[in-house]
Structure 1
Amino acid sequence: MNRSTKFLTQAGLIAAIYIVLTLAFRPISFGEVQVRIAEALTILPFFTPAAIPGLFVGCLLGNFLGGAIVYDIIFGSLASLLSSVLVYMLRRYKYLVPIPPIVINGIVVGSILKYAYAVPLPLISLMIFVAIGQTIACYGLGLPLLLFLQKNNIFKKN
């Protein structure tokens, strides 16, 4: 398989899995207290740069299909894009890989909840709630996924 075909295939599969996980766990994927199971996939840029557009498109479509408002669709997806780039940049430090999605989504999604959805809680509380959910998804699920994929050589690290 040539390089661009492999890249597109990986990106498409990652996007599809993200969408399915977001919608399958919809009751806990949205809201002021959320644990988006699909965010466990944010470790995938550790293995392949194809995860960067895959996670961006997956988040974009997952938010759209999940009924999010336009600000959430746009800015939540851009937060995933930035997180994915930072994860890719941190790939030498596997135990730090989950940090960018936790911090960035805590700030961005917390702000979206406060200002776009008008959730009547203090901004800092919303950021903390989102960061806690992200920590569960990224360290609780994502890091074990990273270790499993690495141990079993599922991806060949690029």
Structure 2
Amino acid sequence: MSRQSGTTQISPAASEEHARRIARTGMVAATYAALTLVALLFLGSLAWGPMQFRVSEALCVLALFTADAVPGLALGCAIANIANIVLSGTGMLGMLDVVFGTLATALGAWFTWRNRRRPALALLGPVIANALIVPAYLPLLLQGIGFYTIPFTNIALDGAYPAMYVFGLLATGIGEAVVMYALGLPLARALSRTSLPKSLGADEGPER
């Protein structure tokens, strides 16, 4: 970066790196959104619902290799959740998933990036973030798509928020853990043996 005539000029190298980072973010976002929508089409309520296995969450392992995966995953989640409003007919209630589901994905991916030198620990980020955040708005979404009792029970959703939250915490946490450790961890190990980490600019670990 240089200063000429009182203005700040960005060097060509810095500009090129900025473009690469934008491209990486866009690539991650597009891949996450596409995989999520494909899962919705083929898995239905197993991709969105009271018991969900959103296989696209396995892509959170990309945050082990680049910080650009964090905004990319958040953007991809937002795009997929907006598309789901149209596909599922949840209406404005679906915006809860757009806002808070995206927040859960962003926080989980950030945790993964910060702890990337310890993958087994790092992948706990998406599990914990989704398990804590998603059940907070899950009862409203379930009622919006036609569920009026806690799934697999006869307990009415109305007036049963604490019980619904506990159910959601367990169901979402288990589903996310299965995806992250049964799919994500093997994926991360496979990707680490390719040229992908180098192309993403992976380094030794987070700053201390």
TM-based fold match above 0.5: yes
Deviations 1:36-85 (A, max 9, x none): 01000111111001101100000001011012611111011011111111
Q: Return 23-32 or 113-122, whichever deviates more.
A: 113-122
Residue identity matched to 2:22: L
Max radius of gyration: which structure?
2
2:76 and 2:17 map into 1 onto residues whose CA distance is: 21
- How far apart are residue 153 of structure 1 and its match? 3.1
Question: What are the within-5 Å matches in structure 2 for residues 30-109 of structure 1?
Answer: 30-67=48-85, 69-109=94-134
- How far apart are residue 95 of structure 1 and its match? 1.4
TM-score (norm 2): 0.72
**RMSD (Å), alpha carbons:** 1.5
2:108 and 2:171 map into 1 onto residues whose CA distance is: 18
Q: Which residue number in structure 2 is paired with residue 144 of structure 1?
A: 186
Residue identity matched to 2:112: V
- How far apart are residue 137 of structure 1 and its match? 1.2
SS in 2 for 1:66: helix
Percent of residue pairs identical: 29
Residue identity matched to 1:12: G
TM-score (norm 1): 0.93
Name stretches of at least 5 consecutive residues in structure 2 with no aligned partner: 1-12, 151-163, 204-208
User: Once superposed, which parts of structure 1, at least 4 consecutive aligned residues long, lie more than 2 Å away?
Assistant: 114-122
Name stretches of at least 5 consecutive residues in structure 1 with no aligned partner: none
Highest RCO, 1 vs 2 (Cα 8 Å, sep ≥ 6): 1
Q: Which residue number in structure 1 is paired with residue 168 of structure 2?
A: 126
Q: Which residue number in structure 1 is paired with residue 37 of structure 2?
A: 23
1:155 and 1:112 map into 2 onto residues whose CA distance is: 36
